Amino acid sequence: MCLVGRQRELRQITKALKDGHNVIIKGSFGIGKTSLAAGFAAENSRLWQFSLVDFSQTADQMAKALMSQFFPQRRYKSVKNLRYKAKRYILSQSDAKNNIKQVIILDNIVKVTTHRFAFLRELLLGGNYLFIAIVESFLPRQKLFDLRAQLYPAEMIELTHLSKHEASAYFTQAALKYNLAWTKKQIAALAEISRGYPLGMHETVKRHLRLHSLTKYPHDGEACGN
């Protein structure tokens, strides 16, 4: 459901990655940046191998997180004991598995430091990865420019609020999925009130499900506004 109304953006991401370009997703809090990337990854796991890392962490923490995702623990039992540069080198030399290109989703880019840039640059130099960078709207313009230069060529996708039609489609699907007895008039009203804000729409559905004492509702991790 988090991908309702994002078909154009999904096509943009697909084209960019197939062309060997990186992707930068930008937008305000709750607009659905992480959900878009995660939903895209779930639907395209046969074409690319996806890994997600929190870019607000230190470079060493990111290296450790990626090592644990890329390599079986039985092969690298001593990952914790490896120095940062060793982990970075191993990651930069990692090849595609089963001829499937690896895509790293860099989530939560709120601050870009010299060390994080150095880590990203090392991974880029290896030429083995594509990137989907999820950028917060308050990232300084110069830092965003530097990030775009680092990831060049990169497709910039800026998420905005959904249209009334798209919001109506979201609430219609929610009604069907969770057996909510909403009329067309009620759905139209919800679409109007929500103003197409994904996180607010998701919270509206959760609130209605709780009010009706239904046990099945979207978990926080599935929030369309992440």
Q: Tell me whether strands 48-54 and 129-136 are parallel, antiparallel or unpaired.
A: unpaired
Identify the pLDDT of residue 130: 97
pLDDT value of residue 2: 84
Strand order in the sheet with 129-136: 48-54, 101-109, 129-136, 22-27, 154-158
Q: What is the pLDDT of residue 77?
A: 57
Contact 170, 2 (CB under 8 A): no
pTM for this structure? 0.91
Q: How far is CA 127 from its chain centroid?
A: 21
* Amino acid 80: pLDDT: 62
For residues 187 and 175, give the distance between their C-alpha atoms in angstroms, rounded to a whole number: 9
Token representation of residue 2: 């988090």
CATH architecture label of 7-158: 3-Layer(aba) Sandwich (3.40)
Looking at the chain, the domain(s) classified CATH 3.40.50.300 span 7-158
pLDDT of residue 72: 67
Query: What is the model's pLDDT at position 23?
Result: 98
pLDDT given for residue 155 in this prediction: 98
Residues of the chain predicted below pLDDT 50: 215, 220-221
For residue 81, the model assigns a pLDDT of 75
